[in-house]
Structure 1
Amino acid sequence: MDLLNPANAEPDDEPISGRERLILALNSGSSSLKFGVYRVTFDHVLRLISGEAQALDTQAGRFDAIDAQHQPLVGHSVPMITMKHALHEIERLLEQTGLQPLDGIGHRVVHGGPAFRQPCRINLQVLEQLQQVIDFAPLHTPMALSVIEETSRHFPEVAQVMCFDTGFHAQMPAVARVLALPKELCMQGVQRYGFHGLSCESIVRRFGASLPERLIIAHLGNGASITAVRAGQSVDTSMGLTPSGGMIMSTRSGDLDPGVLIYLIRQKGLDVTAVEALVDRQSGLLGISGLSADMRTLKIAATTEADARLAIEMFCYSAYKQIAAMIAVLGGIDTLVFTGGIGENDAAVRAQICEGLAWIGLSLDSTLNQLGSDLISTSESICAVRVFASQEDEEIARHTWQLIT
C-alpha cells in the first residue's frame, strides 16, 4: 500500500511555504507510545497513519494502527510489548505502506524545565540538559529519552525535534506562575509550568477565527488538567511544577495539603521514592476506589461498590471545582471544551461535571451529549459547551515541519 510517493522531492529553490515533508510524530506516555505519520506543508497537515502501542511491559500489551480512512492496518495483542518492540513495529509499518524516507521525527516531551519551553532540534547538548531536569516529570521524561535514543538508532539520518507540553503556558502572568515559596526557589525554576499544552494548542487552532475570548479547556484522561485561556493565551492552569498537581487523576492525587507529605515522611517513615510512588502511582481513582484507575471499570463496579462511586464523584467534583476557579480567573466564560480520553468519550462524566456548573446558567443538551456532538449545550446555556478531539500529534508534526524546513 503506497500512501505517499516519496519520489516527489521538491526542488531546492521551491519556496518554504510549498515544501512538503513526511513527519513521524511520537507521543510517549508512562505506559504507552502513540504515533502518527503526517504529510505536512506550510498550511496543511494530512494524517496518513495513526496508532498506539498500549499497556507497555504488561500482559495486556497491544499494537494498533489505522489509515487516513480509519481502516485498520494492523491490530493485535503483543503481551509484554516494549518500547523498543513498538518502534520496530512502526518501522515495519512504514516499510509496508511505502512511507519512507522520513523527513523528520517529532517527540512530545512533557517537561523541559526552565531551559526548554519552545520546540527545538535535538542534539547531544540538548539531551544532556534534559537529563538534568528528569525530576520535574519522573513518570514521563525517562520514557521520552528512551524513545529518542531508540529512534536515533532506527533512523540515524532523520532530523529529530522535541515539542514541550509546557510551552503553551510559558507566558502565564506572574500571579498564576509564581508559587508562594521563597523567591530564590522561583529563580531556580520552581514555579507553575502547566501541562497538556500541545492539546490546548490544538484546541485553540481548531477554533481558528471563531476563537472565544474566554475559553476553558478540560483535558480529562489518565492525566487531567483545567486551563483558562484568554484570547488564545494561557492565563492559568490547574497543574503546577509537575504533572502531579491539580485535579484528581487516574493514579495521581492532584493537589494535596503539603502537611500530608510532611506527616507521611515524619510519622510513617516514607522516603522520597515511597512518597513519589504514593502520589503518582497509587492515588487518584485507584487509591480512592481500591479497585482500578480506569473510569470504565469503575462505572461498571459503581452499581455495587460504594468506593467506586465515590471515586467517580470525587473526580467530577474536582473537575467542576477547578473549572469554577478558572471562571473566576477569566471573569466569566464563553466556551467550555471537553477533550482527552475521558472528556471526549464519557458522556456521563461530562453530564455530572456540567451539573455541578448549572448554578452559572450552564445547560447541557442530554441527547447531543450522549451522541458526543461537537456542540452539546442548549441554546439557553450561558456558554457553549463543546467536545473536541485533542490533536497533540498534529501539533508535533507542525512544529517539526517548521524546525526542519
Structure 2
Amino acid sequence: MSGETILTINGGSSTIKFSVYRVGDSLSRGLTGKVDRIGGSGTRLTFCEQDSEESTTLDIDATDYASTVDFFVDWLQTNEVLDSVNAIGHRVVHGMQYTMPELVTQELIDELYRISPYAPSHLPGEIALIEALRTRSPNLPQVVCFDTAFHRTMPRVATLLPIPRRYESKGVQRYGFHGLSYEYLMQELNRMGDPAAVSGRVILAHLGNGASMAAVRDGQCIDTSMGFTPSAGLPMSTRTGDLDPGLFRFLTQHEGMTADQFDQMVNHESGMLGVSETSSDMRDLLAVEATDIRATEAIALFCYQAKKCIGAYVAALGGLDTLVFAGGIGEHSPVIRVRICEGLKYLGIELNEKRNLENSPMISPMVARVGVRIIPTNEEVVLAQSVSETVAKLVKIFDPHSPKVSTTSATKQGT
C-alpha cells in the first residue's frame, strides 16, 4: 500500500480525534485534528494542516453525538478528505474475542451492535462514525482495530472473574484496554533494541486521563489492570478504578442511587476529581497540593495504587527488566514518576534525577538492574499501520492486477 493515504479516527465518548497518514517507507502525517466537548456546550472542531504550526477552530452547533458525527462527516466530505484517502481506520474500544484488525462488513457492524452493552459509553458513537462514513463513501474500505486485542494473549487465570461460572458464557470476563497504545510501546521498545521487548519482562504504564498498566513477558501480555470495563484498575482522572462492589448496595439503599447514577459517579465524578473536589487534571492538583489537603490525598492515592500495581506485576512476571512510562502523566510529570518509583529500589527500579527532570527517553541510571524509559505513545500510527496491512492482505484492493473484493463480506478472525 505504499504511496496510499489513510484516515485514522479515534472516537471517544466525548471526543473524535483524526489524522491523515501517507504510507511509504515510513508513515508521514498530514492533516490532523479533533472534535471535543461532544454532548456539552462549546463543541468545536480543531484541525491543523501538514507542516503548519497554526490550528483552525470551528464552532459546532450540535447537541448530541449523532449531530456531531453528521457535522464531522460533512466537513470531511466538503474539504475533500474522503476523496483523498484510500482507506479509513477506526479505534474501537471493545472487541470481545477478536484478536486482529477487521475489515468493516455488515456482519461486523451487526456484531458491534450486539456487544454494545459491554461498552455503552464508547461503542454506540464508534458505530455511528463507521455507518455515517459507510453511507457517504460506500466503496471506501474501513478497518476497525480493537483496543482489547493486545490482551487476548493473557492466560485464562488472568481473564477469570470470581463470579458464578454461568456468566462467562455471556462474555463476562476481564478484557483489558489501551491495547493500541501498548502495541505501539512494544514496537518502539523493539525498535530501540531493548531485548526485553522480545525475551524479557516488561511493565507498561499508560498514565493519562485514563490510566492502566500491562505486564508483558516475551512480547505477550500476561495481565493488565483494566478489566471487564475501562473503569477497573488504577484510579483515573474521573474514574474510580477498582471498587468494593458492596458500595453499590450501600448507595442504593441509603442514597437512593440508581444503576445509571452509580455508573455516572464511577466514570465521571470520581477518581482525582472526586477525591480532590476541584480538578481531574494532575497538573492542577500538583499546583495546589501544598495548600489543599484534598489535592495532596488525590495525588498520593494515584501514586500509591500505581506503585502497588507495579509490585503485583513484578510478582506475576517473576522479575522485571524494563518499566515504560507513557500517556500524558507518564510522559510529562517527573514528580509523579518519582513518587511511584520511590521505595522500589529493592526491585531494581531507580531513577536518575537529572534525566527524569528532563523527561529523557531513559530515566534510570545506566547501571540499574531495571531500565526505566519514557516513550510517547501514538495510537494513530498503530491504526494506520494496521489499516495498511489489513487492506493489502485481505482485500488487495490497491493491486491493479487483482479484482476488487467487496467489503460486504470478509473473514472474521480470532473468534
The TM-score, its normalising length taken from structure 1, stands at 0.88
Residue 174 (structure 2) aligns with: 192
Measured after TM superposition, the shift of residue 357 of structure 1 is 2.6
Post-superposition CA distance 1:271-327 (Å, at most 9, x none): 221111111111111111111212122222323221111111111111111111111
Of residues 137, 142, 150, the one that matches 1:155 is: 137
| Conserved 8 A contact 1:58-1:79 | no
Distance of 2:71 and 2:195 partners within structure 1: 41
Measured after TM superposition, the shift of residue 57 of structure 1 is 3.8
Measured after TM superposition, the shift of residue 104 of structure 1 is 0.6
Measured after TM superposition, the shift of residue 383 of structure 1 is 0.7
Residue 408 (structure 2) aligns with: none
Distance of 2:243 and 2:96 partners within structure 1: 22
Residue 55 (structure 2) aligns with: 74
Residue 35 (structure 1) aligns with: 18
SS in 1 for 2:56: strand
Distance of 1:188 and 1:72 partners within structure 2: 49
Counterpart of 2:86 in structure 1: which amino acid?
Answer: D
Distance of 1:227 and 1:108 partners within structure 2: 19
| Conserved 8 A contact 2:47-2:57 | no
Distance of 2:159 and 2:231 partners within structure 1: 16
Post-superposition CA distance 1:63-112 (Å, at most 9, x none): 4334555x3353336366634434444555555xxx84211101001012
Q: Does 1:101 align with 2:45?
A: no
Counterpart of 2:6 in structure 1: which amino acid?
Answer: I
Q: Which runs of 5+ in 1 are unaligned?
A: 1-17
Q: Percent identity?
A: 39
| Conserved 8 A contact 1:224-1:249 | yes
| Conserved 8 A contact 1:337-1:386 | yes
Counterpart of 1:85 in structure 2: which amino acid?
Answer: F
Residue 243 (structure 2) aligns with: 256
| Conserved 8 A contact 1:335-1:383 | yes
Distance of 2:46 and 2:335 partners within structure 1: 27
- RMSD of aligned alpha carbons: 2.2
Of residues 329, 354, 363, the one that matches 1:342 is: 329
More displaced 10-residue stretch of structure 1: 120-129 or 85-94:
85-94
Distance of 1:258 and 1:91 partners within structure 2: 47
Of residues 191, 194, 206, the one that matches 1:219 is: 206
Q: Which runs of 5+ in 2 are unaligned?
A: 63-67, 393-415
Counterpart of 1:323 in structure 2: which amino acid?
Answer: I
SS in 1 for 2:55: strand
Q: Does 1:386 align with 2:373?
A: yes
SS in 2 for 1:112: coil
| Conserved 8 A contact 1:63-1:74 | no
Measured after TM superposition, the shift of residue 60 of structure 1 is 5.1
Residue 121 (structure 1) aligns with: 103
Post-superposition CA distance 1:223-281 (Å, at most 9, x none): 11010001110000001111110000111101011211232234433222111111111
SS in 2 for 1:319: helix
| Conserved 8 A contact 1:320-1:356 | no
Number of equivalences: 382
Distance of 1:382 and 1:333 partners within structure 2: 8
C-alpha distance 290-224 of structure 1, shift in aligned 2 (>3 A): same
Q: 1:3-402, aligned counterparts within 5 Å?
A: 19-41=2-24, 44-59=26-41, 61-66=43-48, 69=51, 71-72=52-53, 74-76=55-57, 78=59, 82-91=68-77, 100-114=83-97, 116-208=98-190, 209-212=193-196, 213-402=200-389
Measured after TM superposition, the shift of residue 355 of structure 1 is 1.6
SS in 2 for 1:36: strand
